Structure 1
Amino acid sequence: MLRAICITSLLCLALPAFALVPPDYQEPPSDFTAEIEAGFQLNTGNTESSSFNGRTMLVYDTQVAKQEGTFKAYFASDSEKTTSEKYNVQLQSSLKLDGGYIFGRGELTWDQFGSYTRIYTLSSGYGFDVISSDKTKFSLEVGPGYRYNLPAATDTDPDPAANKDLILRTAAKFSQKLQEYTSLNADLTAEAGEDNSTLTLEMNYKNLLFQDWAFKIGVNVKYTDVVPEDSQQTDTITTFNLLYTFQ
């Protein structure tokens, strides 16, 4: 009898809680999003190796502004030595306006085995959405900037001087939701300077596995017009990663 009274009392206390939180309740969307991924890497061009890579992206998107930060790391070694070591940081702050946004952007790259071992780029400008729907997003950015390049040392030039150049940066960003669980993303960036110019294409395909986990295939191709002696103009990185999204 006492046990029945206790069970009845607990059920009476629990019923109001279920009434306050319906079964189909979902948390409201957050302004903050984060992605963490890691996986296998294939390098061709100035480096020939395979190993791990990692990427972290943080986004804080409100009605007034959008803050984005991305950190990438690539590391590889063979049985004798390290063959690839590269770190990249990208930061962008955008202030939203009617019909577009103004932005400030910084990118820093340290590449131990690249044609340029240090690349620092600062730029600002204007961007706008050409297409913005639930399935398709396409935006363009343009603006002036400044780039610092430190070439890799060679036998003929063991202590190269850094190149400092004013640039015009243009970028096109495309995102397409193919199906409920798959999406395709592509970013094309051109940096035109008096002394050197670059063209970078970054593409990835994501397939949701379950909940917040996804499989991602990515390709990054960068073409540099002027490179040091014994360096290739095109670098390609192909990645196969497992990605987790925080929202």
Structure 2
Amino acid sequence: MRKLWFACFCTLTTSLAYAKEATPSPTQIELPSPWKSEIEFGYQAHNGNSDSQSLNSRMNAEYTSGRHRSSGEWKFHMLYKDGEEDKRQSTYTAQSDYKLSPKTYLYGSFKGIETRYSAYFKDHTLSAGLGYQFTNTEQLTIELELGPGYRYQEPNLDEIKDDDIIFPETVQEAIFRGNINVDWNVIDNLTLSADITTVTGLSNTR
């Protein structure tokens, strides 16, 4: 009888010890990284009636901590046609958000475009305002931002044509900015995104 009780006690002790080891402690739970980053690179070459080569690159980083979210992005596009440079453009953006409630947040945004072959050499926009999240889940995110700001545009006189509705002077003016951002995670490896921004000032709307 003593042997039977001893065997039962050993079995129970072993089971409890195994259960204790199998249960992870709170300190062992891995938290998601506050950093997110993306890097893209593309190259195309076409031969035929005309030869062309294009280069595209993109870098993006985002950091989230508590109520704060900060992000930055840089994009570069270059195109050669028949051995001559036809397009060269750099686009860089930076934004910082502060959450006010589950659906509303304050934002500060900067966007700069520098190019050689468009109506403006430089097109810089600075804006601050209020953002609203219609939905923010792992599957779907829809955000709307509205706010005032300031714009600086340096015209490229060599690229402006007579019929273009563009002032040949440097633009420095107050603007109103609207932005809508949509991210839809269709499946695990497929995400559809749309980011549409409209900037309106006395001189033009872009």
Instruction: Tell me if TM exceeds 0.5.
Output: yes
Q: Which residue of 2 aligns with 1:151?
A: 155
**Which ranges of structure 2 fall in alignment gaps of 5 or more residues?**
1-20, 46-50, 162-167
User: Is residue 196 of structure 2 the alignment partner of residue 193 of structure 1?
Assistant: no
Q: Structure 1 residues 63 and 41, CA, compared in 2 at 3 Å: closer, same or farther?
A: farther
What percent identity do the matched residue pairs reach? 27
Tell me the SS of whatever aligns to 1:178.
strand
More strand by share: 1
User: Is residue 188 of structure 2 the alignment partner of residue 180 of structure 1?
Assistant: yes
Contact 2:117-2:159 at 8 Å conserved across structures: no
Of the three residues 68, 73, 80, the one matched with 1:70 is 73
Question: Could you list the per-position Cα deviations for residues 31-57 of structure 1 after superposition, in whole angstroms to 9, with x for gaps in the alignment?
Answer: 011111011469xxxxx9540110100
Q: Which residue of 1 aligns with 2:169?
A: 161
Q: Which residue of 2 aligns with 1:59?
A: 62
- Greater mean alpha carbon deviation, residues 74-83 or residues 86-95: 74-83
Q: Which residue of 2 aligns with 1:29?
A: 32
Contact 2:119-2:160 at 8 Å conserved across structures: no
Contact 1:49-1:83 at 8 Å conserved across structures: no
Q: Structure 1 residues 187 and 156, CA, compared in 2 at 3 Å: closer, same or farther?
A: closer
Give TM-score scaled by structure 1 length: 0.63
User: Is residue 109 of structure 2 the alignment partner of residue 105 of structure 1?
Assistant: yes
Contact 1:95-1:102 at 8 Å conserved across structures: yes
Tell me the SS of whatever aligns to 2:31.
coil
Query: Alignment length, in residue pairs?
Result: 170
User: Is residue 94 of structure 2 the alignment partner of residue 91 of structure 1?
Assistant: yes
Q: Which residue of 2 aligns with 1:39?
A: 42
Identify the structure with bigger relative contact order (alpha carbons < 8 Å, sequence gap 6+): 1
Q: Which residue of 2 aligns with 1:127?
A: 131
Q: Structure 1 residues 142 and 135, CA, compared in 2 at 3 Å: closer, same or farther?
A: same
Shift of 1:156: 8.4
**Which ranges of structure 1 fall in alignment gaps of 5 or more residues?**
1-18, 43-47, 199-247
Shift of 1:64: 1.8
Q: Which residue of 1 aligns with 2:8?
A: none
What RMSD in Å do the two structures reach over aligned CA positions?
A: 2.5
Tell me the SS of whatever aligns to 2:117.
coil
Tell me the SS of whatever aligns to 2:187.
coil
How many Å separate the matches in 2 of 1:188 and 1:154?
Answer: 29
Counterpart of 1:191 in structure 2: which amino acid?
Answer: V
Q: Structure 1 residues 79 and 51, CA, compared in 2 at 3 Å: closer, same or farther?
A: same
Greater C-alpha Rg: 2
Contact 2:119-2:159 at 8 Å conserved across structures: no
How many Å separate the matches in 2 of 1:27 and 1:178?
Answer: 26
Counterpart of 1:59 in structure 2: which amino acid?
Answer: E
Question: Could you list the per-position Cα deviations for residues 86-125 of structure 1 after superposition, in whole angstroms to 9, with x for gaps in the alignment?
Answer: 1111000111111311111111111111121110111000
